[in-house]
Structure 1
Amino acid sequence: MLMRIDNEAAARDSLTSFKNSEQLEEALDTVKADLRAGKERPLQHYEVMFPKIAELIREVMPSFVALEQVRAKQRDDASSMQTPRQIGNYEIHSELGRGGMAVVYEAKDSKLGRRVALKVLPFASGLKAISVLRFQNEAQVLAQLDHPHIVPVYDVGEHDGSRFLAMKLIDGAPLDDVVTIESHRTAASSDDELIDVDTPTVIEGFDVPTSDESVQHRHDVPMSIQHLLPVDPTERLQFIASICVDAARALHAAHECGVVHRNVEPSNLMLDEDGHIWVTDFGLALTRDNESMTRTGDLLGTVRYMSPEQARGNRNLVDARSDVYSLGITLYELTTGRAAFEGEPCEILYRIESQDLVLPRKLNPEFPRDLQHIILKATSKTPDQRYETAEQMAQDLERFLAGETTTARAPKLSERAARWMGRRRRTVAAIAGFAAMTFAGSLITTALVYNEMTKTEAARELAEANFEETQSVVDRFGLQLDNELSLIEGTDHLRRRVLNDVIQHYRSFINRSQESGGFTEHLAVTLNKVASLTERAGTPEEALAAHVDAWRAFDQIVASDPNNSEWAVQLALCDNNIGLLYAKSGNFPAAEERYTAAQTSLRKLVEADSTDSTSRRALGQTLNNVGLMYVERNESEKALKSLSEAQAILFAITDSDPGDELAQRYLAATFENLGAAHRTISPQRARAAHADAIRLQQQLADAHPDRVDFRQELAICYDSFGVLLANMKEQSDAAKAFATAADIQQQLLTTSPGSPIVLRQLAWSSNRLGQSLARLGHVSAAIHALGNSLKSQQPVCDITANNPQDVWTLGGIWNNYGFASEGNGDLIAAENAYRLAVEKLQAAFDESTSSESQRATLNRAGANLARVLKRQGKASEASAVLNDLQRGTNNDDA
């Protein structure tokens, strides 16, 4: 996206940064888990997942993968050996299970002769401080817990650099091996064949999914365990409820000792041959003494079972009720046989916070109502609405088993509404705020804007002493309110009313000044403000007329005082602003005339005083806009000439005065436009220019965290950079840029919910991210990104009452979603998406002045639909689609 320099602003990013070493450790753990799960992914997959350490990944990953493959062979060789190994006093018999950190063996204590489960932290894992800390934490926690349903610890030690933990050996299996939890959708693979995304329509404009967590279990569930699970559905539910009673009481005992498990899930609940349940794996437990073991923002445990507060990484809110939630999700899955939330980890985190569980009784009308109430209470999104303790949950489960009334009841309508608003508090706040303003109706102007104006007007005397103060109140109030309203959906008419009130205030001053014949300079300044505001609130013609009025006022001042450089700069900037308006309307000859006048005046001022940063900055600003005009006219050489001169001028200013943020903003915009100018001539120079633009915008954004406009501009810079990289076929880097842009825009939505500006930009970036991921072969991730794009663009169409341009964009995204789904083998989803694409594109085509290229785009989407219909054996439907397209083309020609 090209950047004009007027009086509007630039960009910023507030992404949290982490130390490279911590990110690398996380990346290596992810690779290890993938390899052990049999998932061999390309290097680019991890570069996209961890963009901030992509260079480190390129350097380290090949060697690490090779080493892991050697280790895997060694593990296989070791497991095939008949001779048991020895760790301390423990003779290893077989491997029971393996996680990302430790290995669990069946072993024999050579001194006492008893069988134990020996959890071993290998030497390599012991090199990581966090792994050692968590291993020691588990040992300390288990040592202080004494409960019949918590696995006791016998011994802790170290042997040849490997730490170990000897525990009671449970002859049984984890519940996720005993009870089958079915997926309710077909999982999409990110390793499907590369699709040709140049074939479908690409309409130019969220978190790249992380890998699945993987823990390998080698349990062969004994028949004695399988027979414990009743076949009768009612008896099975009662059996599961009864073992959850014991699990809840074990957790309550831990909570009473100040221990929060934080990783309650079926795989950490072991069922032995006597039907006895054991809570295992306290490696992530939080105690009163180890609060420094994790930081706010860490995500610990299996994503699917995390409470909403854990999913947000908010450690301060994690307590016993978090374990209650996880046990509730476990109970849900065990009793319904269905995963509570599915998708890539980033999708699951979103759903945990924003989506309700599918009601068990909706899945099975015979599901006990009271048991459903218990599950819903335990898994409430808000901790205060859950059971206060795990003991309370255990007691309610016992009431259910005894046929008694449970304390958990179906939530009332008012409670459900409150929960809905709680999950969407930002959106509700925006709606409520807007409702309050619209309820006030015309009172908004009298109660707010007009009130401020009349107070100043009542006190005013047309005197120099208080003029600036009077105007600054109106400036600050009116413009700030306009900026805030621009980010709230449905407030366009209110914005115009506020701006028109401010303009009216200025015009009343103008009329008085003209009548009294005084304050000529202030009159010119005020006319200039009116012109800028009219660009926001009025038509292009009204804005142009207002700018011409301002130009005339400054021209009169300069004529009476030709040596005043301040007013001469303002007159030149008036020419610049008029040139901008002409360029926007496509009147390039008139734009060139005004730009030339501005340049001529500013060059004279710079020659007269080369140290004056104001005139130099204004010249750089004007040259940037001239270069932008030439970029839009595809006159690259002229564009580069103007932009290069602007760069040199603005760079010199920022070099001598790093605190000149206005010059820095102009320089960032110039680099952005240089990137566009170089794009077809020298992609590498374009790349460097975009990188410079991002660097400068990032500095501005970091210096002003409260500036939403800075963050918007930063997102635009990343998006433009991604477009360049995609054109250069550097899809991995392009995906990183688009993902960063989408991340920034997603953050902006938290402060500006429903903003059509932010939603539209998020839709563009997510769409482009999906295209790049598809080109990389990550079809599943591409579908996820394109889905996010659709979720952002549809509200834009609703807000703008189906503006044809927005509907056209929506149709293009649906087309790309269809193509990705087709590449993923989901022909039904592809067909539905293509149908929506054709519908939206046709509607937009019919409502606007359409071109041949738009007809070609529409035909391409139709051809995609016809192709997928044929692949499903629907030849007649495919022919009908193609015939409709041909008739449309013939009508255009006629």
Structure 2
Amino acid sequence: MIDPGRNDPAQDRAGQVDPESSDGTMPVSDDSQHRHPVDLIAEDFAMRIRQGERPDIESFAASHPEHADILRQMLPSIEAMEKLNVGGTRRDISATTTGALSADDDLSFHCFIAPETIGDFRIVRQIARGGMGVVYEAVQESLGRHVALKVMSWRAADHPSHRQRFQREAEAIAGLHHTNIVAVYGVGQQDDLLFYAMHLVDGVSLADLLAGTGPDIGVDLQNDRQTAAWIATIADALQYAHGQGVLHRDIKPANLMVDRDHHVWLTDFGLAADPSSDRFTQTGEIVGTLRYMAPEQLKGHLDVRSDVYCLGLTLYELLTGRAAIQGTPAELLSAENRRRIAPPRSLRATIPSDLQTIVMKAVSEDPTHRYATAGEFRDDLQRFLAGRPIAARRVGAMERSWRWAKRNPGIASLSGTVLVLLLSVITLLSVINRSRTRSLTAIGKAYDQAAENLRQRSAALDEAERARESAVRERSRAETNLSLALSAFQEIVDNVAGRTGVAESVWESVGDDLMRDADSGATLGDDDVQLMENLLQFFEKFADENATDLRMPAADARRSIGDILFRLGRPDEARESYDQAWAIYSQLRGEDEGDAVDSTVPVESPIAVAWGQMRVAAALRRPSDVRAWLQRCRQWCFEGQAKPATSDLTFLWAKSLRLAGSLTLSTEWMTGMRPSTNGPGPGPDSLLARLMGESRRRGPNRAVAQYRWHQQCSREAIQWLEVLLESDPQRKVYAQTLAAAHQDIARQDRMRRDEAESAKHHRDEAIRILDDLSKRFPDDPDIQYQFADTLASAAIGDSRPVAFSRASDDLRQSIRLANELVRKYPDSAEYQSLQASVQMKLAISQYAAGRGDRAQDMIDESLVTQRRIVQQHPDVPMFRVALAQSLWSMADLQRRQRKPVDALRSINEAIETLESDQGGRFGKVRQAYLNQLRQRRQGIQNTLRPSPLRDSSGNDASADAAEAATP
């Protein structure tokens, strides 16, 4: 409780309960100048006991018949209290009162005499009085601490309901543990006295602050934010109490205390109740302080929203300096008086509008319009303090009208009827006026129309001419913009889709079956894929909307979409797009009956579609479709003649043949390819040799026949390209394509043990052609790249050490070319990848030839480069394949050197490199390659058996360099 720190009567009065006390007792009169007769009689009775006499209560009552009833009730209690103080210092009865009593005061309380000690507590002074008891400052002797001791008055103790209420208050506070609720230290009873000890608050009540009678503790009531923060804190304490099943029922400024640290406290739970109890509200019982009661509380019905209402009235009073509800006790009992609460800003304009909105919501007459809980009240105040939007909304004019209508249904009904009649009259007059205005306007328009017709006719021809000229200009502008858009689109697609750039030497090592499955989007990063996805969506819409008038651009767009889809690894969708483009080209070229022939359609366009369909067919394992589309290419190129009519058509046909031949390893019979277990790097399995042997024993094998068809395409492509190159030796594209065709056959023949000479012949031809081109066009990076790649690829072949030795010259020349490309184009990851791959092959070759003095440095340098490329381009899967291939090659070399632990470490890094690729567009290839790597790892692990010749690292110490180079 509060320790106001004052001794004069005026200060003591400030510590009393509010005049409108919670149990209905009347206020202490400040105007009485004489003591009540009963006060004097009680003092005389007490003095006689102190002098050792034993006065008779009935004699005192008979001597004063006008006060007999009161004396019979009061004197036994005084007698009991005096007996408690036998041997101690007594207090004068006048010291316990807070002032003179009026003749109408309830003397049963004010004549209460305080003992010197109560239990373990020594009374220091009186702090406050209430209808239920007296609050003293006391010292708890056993602990030496100051406490607030509330003692129940003797008359209140005579009533069981009052004793229950006093006990309920103690129990309610004792069960609450909150930083802003006064804590109870203990409850006790001495003879007929009930009491409990509480925390002593050194401060002042908000009622004293409002009255200006309390001590100065440095509080400014004009600080609205501080006031809002106090009420938010009390709302939090109330929310806690409600959560514990306790209603306060008497929230008012007198029951809110502020200590000298400006910490606010909730006190006086004398009317607290459990809302779940059946005795919570009694019929006709009105509890609380009239001025702060909620409307429903006047009717004996209340819940947590009633406490919210009382707290809202307290906030209102703190903000405005006056109580929200004014009047006499009779007027305070009127519900109408609570409907006329003036907005706080009407009393003090500086109050923030949001704070006014919060207050008015809290003190709404209808409980459903208030905050549902004290927690919601607290949260809205905290939003206001934080400068955030509040949850409460201002009541608008419409809602105020609706509430007024509910309160005054008769007047509202009459007003509504009058309003409807008024609106009806206004509407009728408006319709009549509008009709008249419309008639006058029609007459005027008819007159003006005659003159306007003549003017319009004269201007019609001029307008038509201007419209025609504008249409011509707009059409020209639209065609120009369309052309620019199509050109830009094709340039982007060509730029992105053309960046496959993975060295063929890498594919040679991995295996062509994996190469063809992974070639779509091999070096397209995530950004490239997203770009092509967006372009795909745009041109799908564009082609659909313009297919009628722009068939040729639409067909080109469909073809480009097919290229994009194929590179995105969606062959089925790519085939649909190619089919649409082919249908448009065929229609424009007049292949459908009744169609007009458009000779402006270049033959390259449908041929490009056919190439796309061939790639799709190969990816989907449909060799018959590859042949069918090659036949269509022939029809477009030959145009019914014995041979193509022009060199361009001849070149298109040769490229078509070369493409068909290069798809050899994409057909279904090559799915058994896996790396060799003998060479320094993976190579073709003996599957083809077995197939060839079976074909000789059991007749033509379908797979072998398919292989031979593809090789025949490559050979026929070479024949046509040689004719073209002979007729125009300066066309480098002819020579480049011819070299690629020779390299295709070399790769095909290397798969057959009985075609070694043919493979060597075609490899040498490819190298010869590219060597000549490299000298003629030294600044062409595409030619230099193809030459270096071919040299490195050609050097793979036979896996024996002597073969690697013969390939050293090719590898050295390849590394020189790759180094020069990297020097000129240092930012090209493709050139760096080629350089590192060739460097690895050269190092392996030197090991195989017994010259491993610098080979290890080259291997380390190659791996460092490839690891850096993978780190810089993590979303390009084939850079991971190149690194994994190099690690695989090194693992095979270490295995042959009898270093199985080192080999296992290398093969594990290769597996981790591929497993870390989660891009999704390389799934099938990655899984196939991982399976091969895991098989190789299992083989190495099987060799790691205990051996007396194995050193501490797990490697075989008996192997020398020459033995290590032997496969």
Category of TM-score, reference length = shorter chain: 0.3 to 0.5
User: Given the two structures, how large is their TM-score scaled by the length of structure 2?
Assistant: 0.33
User: Given the two structures, how large is their TM-score scaled by the length of structure 1?
Assistant: 0.36
Q: Which has the larger radius of gyration?
A: 2
